[in-house]
């Protein structure tokens, strides 16, 4: 049995399994990742935003909702680095506290979508019964809706709160992960190493957990980073439309909405929250590309040749 298991792993030849079993390849993947300055820049930006979210109460110059009518529409200066809004609130402090919403949605919504989508996609991809058709038709029906419209509808039904936004965005992106996992399982279930595991007497659950799922980790990791960026944009869009977190809680999308009427008078009210969205979305995309390149064993082998 041990010989059969080792033979199955030898036949697999997929990136995630190779990295999981071979320490040398893991070290080479890590070196490929750190050698690319764009990867490091993305990781640093994400870390900076998450540290800001965790330490917001300590590093914010002012309370995010502190109103100072004597300082309304102050441009960026030594006291207020990013200026103030129409109520005299410090823009920098609100951006720092707004990072909590963005980071919570990026990880919470994507984690929820991945949990549901991966489970449904694995079940649908590995079975050939009516269950497969039922799951994928439901996913196709959800996928047919524009993501922002579906998220807006769910958020409107559930009500404005951070938890409901995470749930709404997570449900919206579940079909995306289900389709990715479905395609991965369909392509892997007929591979030689899966057939070998089946011949060795492995149960379906064991095959999915030990042989198929590990070989989808690379694709899911890259896609998850991309969807984290999409989730940030979706949350900002919902907040801009008034369906996000409840005011006066700081959120980048709602800050954009409040700054829109003052673009000519005080453009910094909208510019700085927009820049925060841009840099965090860019960071997730840079990180995703870096993880993809680092985990692609076949690409590394071709480069060495």
Domain positions in the chain are 2-57+79-304
Closest CA to 97 of 278, 251, 297, 293: 251
In contact, 225 and 288? CB cutoff 8 Å: yes
For domain 2-57+79-304, give its CATH number from 3.10.20.30, 1.10.3720.10, 3.40.50.720, 1.10.287.1770.
1.10.3720.10
Instruction: Count Cβ atoms within 10 A of the Cβ of residue 38 and give its class: 0-12 exposed, 13-18 middle, 19 or more buried.
Output: middle
pLDDT of residue 294: 73
pLDDT by residue for the chain (305 residues), tens digit each?
444 344 433 433 444 555 555 556 566 666 776 777 888 898 899 999 999 999 999 999 999 999 988 889 999 999 999 999 999 999 999 999 999 999 999 999 999 999 999 999 999 888 878 888 899 999 988 888 888 888 888 888 888 888 899 999 999 999 999 998 998 888 887 777 777 877 877 787 888 887 788 888 878 888 888 899 999 999 999 989 888 888 888 999 999 999 989 988 999 999 999 999 999 999 998 888 887 777 665 544 444 44
pTM summary value: 0.83
d(C-alpha 235, C-alpha 254), whole Å: 10
């Amino acid at each position: 049995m041990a010989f059969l298991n080792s033979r199955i792993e030898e036949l697999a030849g997929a990136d995630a399994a190779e990295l999981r079993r071979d320490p040398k390849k893991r070290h080479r993947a890590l070196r490929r990742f750190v050698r690319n300055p764009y990867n490091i820049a993305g990781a640093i930006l994400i870390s900076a935003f998450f540290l800001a979210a965790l330490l917001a109460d300590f590093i914010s110059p002012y309370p995010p909702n502190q109103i100072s009518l004597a300082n309304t529409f102050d441009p960026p200066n030594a006291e207020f680095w990013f200026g103030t809004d129409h109520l005299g609130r410090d823009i920098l402090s609100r951006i720092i506290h707004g990072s909590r919403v963005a980071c919570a949605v990026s990880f919470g919504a994507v984690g929820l979508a991945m949990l549901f989508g991966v489970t449904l996609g694995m079940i649908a991809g590995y079975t050939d019964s009516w269950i497969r058709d039922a799951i994928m038709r439901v996913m196709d029906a959800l996928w047919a809706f524009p993501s922002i419209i579906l998220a807006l509808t769910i958020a409107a039904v559930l009500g404005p709160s951070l938890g409901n936004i995470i749930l709404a965005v997570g449900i919206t992106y579940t079909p995306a992960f289900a389709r990715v996992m479905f395609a991965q399982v369909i392509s892997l279930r007929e591979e030689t190493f899966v057939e070998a595991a089946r011949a060795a007497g492995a149960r379906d659950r064991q095959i999915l957990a030990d042989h198929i799922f590990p070989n989808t980790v690379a694709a899911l990791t890259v896609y998850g980073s991309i969807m984290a960026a999409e989730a940030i944009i979706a949350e900002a869009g919902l907040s801009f439309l008034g369906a996000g977190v409840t005011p006066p809680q700081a959120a980048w999308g709602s800050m954009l909405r409040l700054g829109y009427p003052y673009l000519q008078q005080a453009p910094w009210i909208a510019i700085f929250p927009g820049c925060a969205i841009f840099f965090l979305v860019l960071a997730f995309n840079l990180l995703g590309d870096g993880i993809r390149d680092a985990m692609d064993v076949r690409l590394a082998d071709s480069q060495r040749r």
